[in-house]
Amino acid sequence: MLAQHLFNGLMLGVIYALVATGFTLFFGVMDVIKFSHGDVVMLGAFTALATYAAASGAGITHPALLLAFMLAAALGVMALLGALMARVLVLPLRGAPAINVLLITLMAGTAIRESVRLFYPQGSNPKPFPRLLPEGAFEAGGFTLRYDSLILLGLGLAAIAATGLLLERTRLGLAIRAVAQDPETAAVMGIPFRATVLATFALGSALAALAGVVNGLYYSEVNFGVGLLLGAIGFSSAVVGGLGSVWGAVLGAMVFAALQTAGALVVPGGSAYRDVFAFGAVIALMTWRPAGLLAERSAERV
C-alpha cells in the first residue's frame, strides 16, 4: 500500500517538477513570474493531441513513431510560443512593476485557455488522450506498477536531469546562469541578454509541453482547465522550493506531491479535500519559510 502511494506521489512530483522548473528558470533570468505557464502546459498537450489526429489521419499507426511526432510538435511549438511571449509580453515590460508582468501573463494564460475552450473542436469537453505506451503491469502483493507509468517516470526524470546538465555543463547554461546572477555584468562579458532570455523561455516552455504530454499520457485525458491548477501547483512548488533554484523547484514539487498524497490519506473525507489540504499547507509553509526552503541568500539594500 505504502509503496503504491509513494510511486503515485513520485509520478505526480515529476510532472509538477517539469512545470516548476519553468517557473524557476523564468524567475532566474527575468525576475518575473509567467503565470501563463500552466496554460502552456495544457496547450502543449492539445498540440500533441492535434498532431496525433493529423498523423493517424495520414496513416501512421506505429505508436513510438506517433509519440515521437507528438513530442516533437508539442515541444517545438511551445518553445516558439514561449519565446514569442517573452518577446511580446515580458521583455517590453522590463522595468514596469512586477505585478504588471504577473497580470499580463495571467491574462495571456486566460486567453490561451479560453481560445482552446472556444476554438478547439468541442474544446470545452474533456478529451481522451491516446494510450500509446505498452500496456500491462508488474504486480507484487497489493503493489501494481504499470509499465507506461514507469516509462513516463523515466522520461520525466531524464528531462529534469538533462535540464540540470544543460544549465551546469553547456555554454547556454552558463549564459543563463550569468544573466540570472547579474544581467549587466553578463552583458559586459559579451553575453547577449535578449537572446539568452528568449532561449530560457523557449527551454522552460518546451519542458511545460513535455509536462503536458506526460500528464495526458498518465491520466489518459486532458481538458482545457487543467492548466490553471497545474500552473498554480507548479508555481507553488517553485516558490516553496525557493524561486531561482532548479533543485529547489524539484524539491518543492516533490513536497507538494507528498502533501497531496498525504492529504488524500490523512484528511477525513478522503481525496476530495486533498487540494484544500495541500494549498493550506503551502500557505503554512510560506509563513514558516517566506523565501522558500532553498532560498537564495540575499539582503535588501536600502
Partner 1 sequence: MPVAAWPALAAVAIGAGLAAALLLVHHKAAVLAVLAVGAALLVVAQRTRAGERAAASAAAHPRLVPVAVAACGLGLVMLLREDNFALLMLCTVALQTLAALGLHLQFGYAGVANFAGAAFLGVGAYTAAVLGGHLPSVLVLVTGAGLAALAGLLLALPLLRTRGHYAALITIAFGLLLRTFLEVNDTLGGPQGLKVPGFTLGGLAFNDAIVFDEDTEWSFYVPYAVLALALLGATHVLVRRLERSWIGLALDAVRVDETAAAAFGVNGGAWKIAAFCVGNALCGLAGALLAMVTGFVAPPSFAFGDSLVLVSIVILGGIGNPLGLLPAAFLVVVLPEKLQGLQEYRFLLFAVLVILVLRLRPGGLLPRRLRRWPGLP
Instruction: Give the shortest CB-176-to-partner 1 separation in angstroms.
Output: 19
Stated as kind and residue range, the H or E segment containing 209 is helix 193-219
Instruction: Give the shortest CB-299-to-partner 1 separation in angstroms.
Output: 12
**Cell digits for 82?**
514561449
What x-and-dash track marks residues 17-56 binding partner 1 by CB under 8 A? ----------x-----x-----------------------
265 binds partner 1 (CB under 8 A): no
* 55 vs 254, beta carbon nearer partner 1: 254
CA separation for the pair 49, 275 (Å, rounded): 27
Residues 83-122 that bind partner 1 (CB under 8 A): 89, 92-93, 96, 98-100, 102-104, 106-108, 110-111, 113-115, 118
* 207 vs 233, beta carbon nearer partner 1: 233
| Three-state DSSP state, 139 | strand
CA separation for the pair 20, 237 (Å, rounded): 6
Residues 123-182 that bind partner 1 (CB under 8 A): none
How many H-runs (helices) and E-runs (strands) does the chain carry? 11, 4
Residues in the chain, overall count: 302
CB 82 within 8 A of CB 204: yes
Report residue 17 CA to chain centroid gap.
6
Closest CA to 235 of 16, 15, 30: 16
| Count of other CB atoms within 10 angstroms of residue 42 | 29
Instruction: Give the shortest CB-230-to-partner 1 separation in angstroms.
Output: 12
Task: State the alpha helices, DSSP H only, in 58-125.
Answer: 63-85, 98-119
* 44 vs 231, beta carbon nearer partner 1: 231
Instruction: Give the shortest CB-292-to-partner 1 separation in angstroms.
Output: 8
229 binds partner 1 (CB under 8 A): yes
What are the residues binding partner 1 (CB under 8 A)?
A: 27, 33, 89, 92-93, 96, 98-100, 102-104, 106-108, 110-111, 113-115, 118, 228-229, 232, 235-236, 239, 243, 269, 272-273, 275-276, 279-280, 282-284, 286-287, 290-292, 300, 302
